[in-house]
Structure 1
Amino acid sequence: MFKPAATLIKRCLALSGVAVLTLSLNACSPDQPTLPFKGSDITGSHLGKDLDMVDTAGQPRSLKDYKGKVVVGFFGFTQCPDICPTAMTQLAQAIDLLGPDASKTQVLMITVDPARDTPNVLKDYVQIFHDDFDGLTGSEAQLAKTAKSFKAFYARAPGAKPGQYTMDHSSSFYIIDPQGEARSLLRGDATPEELAHDIRLVLPNP
């Protein structure tokens, strides 16, 4: 389903296509108020509904397990050289900006490289950035199902040396409200302030 990209241009076009497709899903539900998100309003898209992975404790996880909290999802992998560490740092700063409301939010890094990112490896990685962050891994089939649910792109690409590989992947942030509904999609270069702003808009009522 997810084939290795042949060239950088092809990979970039694929990522752009995913963004366009996702943005085309903007369809506000009559049951949800329109909110002034900094990201794209994806209310009514139901992105992520079929999340089916394993957390860093080895426990199966779906969105229903996080009901009552705002979920911030990001696709990445632990051997990512620059994009993922930057994104995780942005997320950690955003969580710090939330102050007491940080406890009402769960950041999840969904690995696109489950072969190397075992639960223990993923746990050690995400907790470098914040003690309360968690990671999700699983089988290739689980990843394919979950990525499809989020309309997220990923593909294996050749590494610098024979036998090595890296991963190309979408770099957006998904914000899901406490009822498990996708609400905002922010670009990978969103600032901590923008992330915190959109999280606050969907925080559970006191």
Structure 2
Amino acid sequence: MNRRRLPYAVLAAVVIGAASLGACSAPPPAGPLVGSGVGGPFSLIDQDGHAVTDKTYAGRWRLMYFGYTFCPDVCPVDVQKIAQGMKVFTADDPARAAKVVPIFVTVDPERDTPAVLKTFVRAFSPTMVGLTGTPAQAEAARKAFRVYAKKAGTGPDYLVDHTAIIYLMDPANQPVSFLDHGATPQAIAAELKTYVR
């Protein structure tokens, strides 16, 4: 019985095509924060006054940034870059971008009420979430994410020294990667493109 054999060129095309499909569906690389213990449960209040926890955002990727609205320079610049990075990523891949929620967590809950946070985050992005809470709740969230924060000065115009870092958390609230204060919107978009599935 004669069996028809595929010509080598056709066979090679099939193999290369299968390899390409495998590359498209390949899992993302392990991020530098995987297994680090950064992050954890939190209980806070969003910009609309609703109580939220880490489970509120289950199933969503999160860009988490800790700062405060009275920050004179660093926080507004970083939050603007996060918003711009999300715009770049959305333009490139709207389906994957829809899985990401940018979250701004205050390190200054005494001044950053839900109303103050709402005005702040909406100035940068309609999808950004602002989180505050009692001082104890805010401190617990900072500790879970290993964020340093300390008041500098007294009176109503005090500043807050704090860690300036952007965390990328996966849909199970596990740490994946991070970007520092110098990250550009393009770097943020590239980080999302690398990991978000």
TM range (shorter): 0.7 to 0.9
Unmatched tracts of structure 1, length 5 or more? 1-32
Shift of the alpha carbon at 1:163? 5.3
SS in 2 for 1:35: coil
Deviations 1:8-41 (A, max 9, x none): xxxxxxxxxxxxxxxxxxxxxxxxx77275xxx1
Contact 1:73–1:174, Cα closer than 8 Å, also in 2 = yes
Q: Are 1:80 and 2:71 an aligned pair? A: yes
CA distance in 2, matches of 1:191, 1:122: 23
Residue of structure 1 in register with 2:107 after alignment:
112
Residue of structure 1 in register with 2:144 after alignment:
149
CA distance in 1, matches of 2:129, 2:49: 11
Unmatched tracts of structure 2, length 5 or more? 1-26
Residue of structure 1 in register with 2:189 after alignment:
196
SS in 1 for 2:123: helix
Which of 33, 37, 45 in structure 2 is aligned with 1:46? Answer: 37
Q: Are 1:35 and 2:29 an aligned pair? A: yes
CA distance in 1, matches of 2:171, 2:156: 43
Contact 1:70–1:199, Cα closer than 8 Å, also in 2 = no
Deviations 1:69-112 (A, max 9, x none): 11001111111111011001100110001121322111111001
Contact 2:30–2:176, Cα closer than 8 Å, also in 1 = no
Contact 1:53–1:143, Cα closer than 8 Å, also in 2 = yes
Alignment of 1:93-132 (within 5 A): 93-99=84-90, 100=94, 101-132=96-127
Which of 164, 168, 174 in structure 2 is aligned with 1:171? Answer: 164
CA distance in 1, matches of 2:43, 2:50: 11
CA distance in 2, matches of 1:202, 1:145: 27
Deviations 1:118-174 (A, max 9, x none): 001101101100111110000110011110000100000016xx5531111110000
Residue of structure 2 in register with 1:140 after alignment:
135
The Cα RMSD (Å) is: 1.7
Shift of the alpha carbon at 1:178? 1.4
CA distance in 2, matches of 1:98, 1:51: 27
SS in 2 for 1:114: coil
The number of aligned residues is 167
Change (3 A) 1:130 1:34: closer
Residue of structure 1 in register with 2:23 after alignment:
none
Normalized against structure 2, the TM-score is what? Answer: 0.79
CA distance in 2, matches of 1:34, 1:121: 37
CA distance in 2, matches of 1:69, 1:144: 23
The structure with more radius of gyration: 2
Contact 2:86–2:189, Cα closer than 8 Å, also in 1 = yes
